[in-house]
A and B are shown apart, each in its own frame.
Chain A
Amino acid sequence: MANLETEILDDVIARSRRKMLALGGAALAGLVLGSPKVAEAASYSDSDILNFALNLEFLEANFYYLCAFGCTIDKPNAQAISAGAPSAGIPITGSVGTAGTVSGGAKVSFSTIQAASYANETAIEEGKHVLFLQSALGSSAVAQPAINLGSSWQTLGQAALGSAGTGFSPYVNDDTFLIGAYVFEDVGVTAYHGAAALLTSSSNLTAAAGILAVEAYHAGLIRTTINAVDSTGSLGLISDTNSISSLRATLAGQVAPSPASAYDTAPDDFGLATFSVALAGASSVMASRIVDADATNVIAFSRTTSQVLNIVTGGASYNASTKALTSPATGVFFPSGLNAGPNGFK
C-alpha cells in the first residue's frame, strides 16, 4: 500500500546508498514488529552515525545550557564546572566543518526547584554526551554547526500551534521550558533507536544504547512533569504536547494521530492525552501516556536519519511534490545544516 509514509521512505531508500535489510527469515518464527520500518544497511561508517548524533547533542546541550546557566556550552560557567564540565568550557571545534555560532536563547527565570533542578541535570548530561562523542570520534569529530535557538522557536511554534504559537519562547518560565524540552527529547530517543542497528562496532552499539536510555530518561522526566503540572489539562500544556507530537509525526512523513487520543492509528509520536486500554482484569480503563511508543507492542519509536533531519530542520527541506529531501537540509534549528564528512548525514 503506497501512502505518504511509504513513498517518503521509498525515496529515502532510493536516494541513499543503503539497502533495505530483509525483515524476518531468521531462526525465530513470527517476530511481529508493529510496522516494518526502513532498516538502513550499514554502508555509512560508525563515525558518520556518531557525528550525526554529535550534531544533535550540540543542539540539545546548548539549549539546556542556555536555559539553566544562561550561556552556551563553550563558555566557562561556574555552576557547570562545579558539576564536572571542563573549566574552559566544552570544545566546539572539530576536524570537519567550522565551528558555528549559537543565536538566541536566555536563562529561564525558574520559579520552582523542580523545574530548575531538572534543567541543571539535563544540561550537564547533554554536555557530557557532547564530550563523550567527541572523545569516541577523536580526530573524526565534526565541529559544532550553526544553531538557531531564538527565532526557530517562533517558526516551530506557529507550525505546531498555529497563531497561538507565533510568539512562543521556551525561556519565559517553568512551563515554557518544559514545552521547549518536550520538542527535543522524544526525538533523541527515536534518533538513537534508529541509529543503533546501523552501528557495526559492539562498543559503539553499547554506547548508543546507553545514550538512548538516557534520552528516554530525559523524555520520561519531561513528560512526567508536564503530566503532573497540567493534571487537568487546563493550562493547555497537554494540548501543546499533542500538537507538537503531531507536527513531529507529520515531519517524519507519518500520520498524525486523529483524534489525538486515538491509539490505534499509526503515527510515530504521541502527546500526553490519556487513552483507553484493555488490561487483564479490567476491560477498558483510562491510562496516561508517559511512554511515547507504538500501540500494540509498546516498543519505543524509531526514526531514520532523514526523518530526524526533517524534524530538526522544520520540514523546509522536504519537497512535497517530489517527495524528496533537499541536501543539505537546512532550516529552523540548523540554519546552515549539519556538519558532516563527505559521506555523512546532512
Chain B
Amino acid sequence: MQRLRSLALNPDGFAFDPTTGESFTLNATGLAVVEALREGLTAEQLTARLVERFEVSPLDASRDLDDFLDHLRSFRLL
C-alpha cells in the first residue's frame, strides 16, 4: 500500500512509481480503483462506487475488482 500511495498519478491514468521508476497505464476503471484505495475505501465501498460510476452489476464490479487487485499485487503495489 505504501508504494500505491507514493505513485504519481495523472488524470489520464499514467502512474509513475518514484521509488523504482516503473510506470503504468490505467484505464478509467483502474484509475478509479487506485484513487479509491488511496482514499482508504473498503472493498465494499469500492464496489459500490464502481457500480454507481460505471453502471455495472455488483457481481461484475466485485469480480473485476478482485482481478485488478491481483494485478496490483503481482506488481507489488499492494
Interaction A to B = no
Report B's interface with A, CB cutoff 8 A: none
Report A's interface with B, CB cutoff 8 A: none
